[in-house]
Structure 1
Amino acid sequence: MKKIILTLVFASAITTLSAQTEKEKSTEIDFNKWSIEIAGGVNKPQEPMTPGYFTSTPSPFVVDLGVRYMFNNKFGLKADVGYNSFQPKKESIDFDTKYYRANLQAVTNLGRVMNFETWTNTIGLLGHAGFGYAQLRNENDDIQDKMGNFIAGVTAQVKLTNRLALTGDFTTIMNFSQSTAFDGASLTPEANRGFSGNLFTGTVGLTVYLGKNEKHADWVIDNGNEIEELRQKIATIENKMLDADNDGVANYLDQEENTPAGTLVDTKGRSIDKNNNNVPDETEAYILKNYSGNNGDGSVVYDNELIKSLINGGYVAVYFDFDKSTPTNVSTEGTDFILTYLRNNPSASVDIIGHADELGRSDYNDKLSTSRANNVKTTLVNANIDASRLNVVAAGEDTSVNKDSENARKLVRRVTFSVK
């Protein structure tokens, strides 16, 4: 038994040191820290006892009252007082003594330390250990033996509500400098006045949690935001593994995030353009098939009227992310297409028409649509297209789609063209 007690002493010292030195991790969780504990039960004085004097096993009765404060959801302190009554068994010589104590104890929430939350949210376990002062008195106060003590125990908890918990406790008390036997009938030899007094108690009680927050530290799972950070990391990984544009290349490898459906791409998600004319091969093949003819000598002749109709019908566009005036990477192909058309048709001019979705204020969206159109115009001017051939038109908000649909809004954050 003494080996167990010494182990508890060591555990108490480590717990106290940890409570003093461990920095509480940053958390957004607020919890109650104060509680009141009341319990009653039975006890058994082990030694010293005078020969012929003994109590029943166990014997009534014990009353404990304590106040506890938790620094965090694992460590705390409590101050408590106790009253024990020692009375004889029928076969014993008659006696009536009382034991009073006051202790300051370190508390460890063993339920959190051992991760009880992985299998239960209503059962807990506390460990407590500390030192204090005690007195042993008989019924007439002829004996008033004053002593120090060491106390250690474990408390099982069952959460009834966020304000109340049922407890069951087993505690060992070791007295030092105890001069009188627990029965009060004899003195303890001087040589045995170290940790010579042993007393066991078992109680059942209630813990009342105080404070304005929803939960007490006993039942708060606080990992310093580690779980939330882990969730965010997992979500980031999942997003990277998605293939938003369905081109067969995961997002984290995809350098063109909005490749048109069905377009052939390389291992980095970029549209394949074997002849390097800035028009994806799939788009170019479609145009060649539907909007061109053969000149007889093997050269290709484009049907400009059909291409003009394609452009004016909105099939060539430049797309933008939310609240941005810079085109998405893949959308530069629309600008390249218009650039090629204007170079092949020096007399043509175009309206550059900016659009925005319906989110935000209308006046702001008007300015945003203008900025988008001007951005495309600047790119074409820098590609040596005369600014006089380019006319900026601010179309403002496009109300043709459901503004509550994120995917639909992507379709209207764009610049279109009208060939003159």
Structure 2
Amino acid sequence: MKKIVLPFLFFCLGTLHLSAQEEGESVGSNDFNRWSVEANGGFSKAANPVMEGYNIKAFNLFHADLGFRYMLNTKFGFKLEGGYDVLNADGGGGLEDTQSTLIRIGLQGYANLGRIMEFEHWTQRLNLLGHMGVGVGQLSNGDFFDGQDNIGNFLIGLTGQYRISDRVVLNADFTMINSFAQQRNWDGTSYDRGTKQGFDSTLYNASLGLTVYFGKHQKHADWFIDEKSDDLEELEDRIGELETMMNDSDKDGVPDYLDAEPNTITGVAVDSKGRTIDRNENGIPDELESYIETRDTELRKGISSDIADLINSGYINVYFDFNKDQPNAQSVNGINFLVKYLKDNPTVSADVIGYADEVGNTAYNQELSRRRAENVKQILVDSGIEASRLNIVGNGEDASVNKDSKYARQVVRRVTFILKN
């Protein structure tokens, strides 16, 4: 197995090294050091399997490991490492003097949890690394078999760090090593795997050690804080907020965050708060009312196509708040405008067409669009328009705008009108 796995590990190491060089060019490789050497020593605890009646010491001294770590950036990296464990008997089965050794090598990915969770806001001395990877090992025990038992490893663990200086760090590591393809018990006797699936055994390492950083810069990636990047990100967020605040959905020249009526008729004059100017409070914007009055003579001569085109082209709409089927307060103008037109033109009928935005279930939105149209029709009927002149149409979802924009969705939650002679 090692003839396959070991070359694979070295191939991964070479590939990751090339990736690290490319990454360094893009994130500013001149800002921090990336390489470190880590040496640890401590205890091991082997879990099953062992021969029946045999005990392994709860804490086996000696464990040692050595690794070379490279950080792609301040948050992620990898380490090529090796370990050595001695597992001693603790009585039982007449095997008090037997001893097993495990030599292994592995490749692990590292995550700088301290930078990810922004430890720098409360400490400059403490840090936490998470690591996980794969490897191979050789188990030996001269008392029970010749040669070695070649096994595979899956490793996962946490490393706590205490920064002594910019070059030296004290670390405490806890690692769990799960083995597979294991043919021998930890005591060296033959392992009866039976129908067992998954990992064959587990070995726990607890150790203390030192990390030494290398490079020409002051700080290593474990501790480097890119203040310029943080400032730039904050500035981009503020610019994004300002851009959102300056959106003008109804194109009346007043930003949405200041607009008291974000759905005013396009092209109609508004005050400094985005409200249509209606001095006589009859529900019709003064500018539009003035236009109608100046065209009154032409209307009496039968030239009413301009007003009809204005309505049929969607300049007169009734708007709704999210998931509501009753018009919002800003839509009174549109309803009053249509009431006045239909009363002045008693032979004209109208399709009352409801729409919904794309948020939610399509079938529900279809029904919602119809309820909106029916409620607007009822308001028109209550205002003196004969019900027979009004035809209800539920057009469902309007997909003509970006459904991720709450301001754009306001535009399509509406009822519009088509006049018919």
Give the TM bin, normalised by the shorter chain: 0.3 to 0.5
Alignment TM-score, normalising by the size of structure 1 = 0.48
Q: TM-score, normalised by structure 2?
A: 0.48
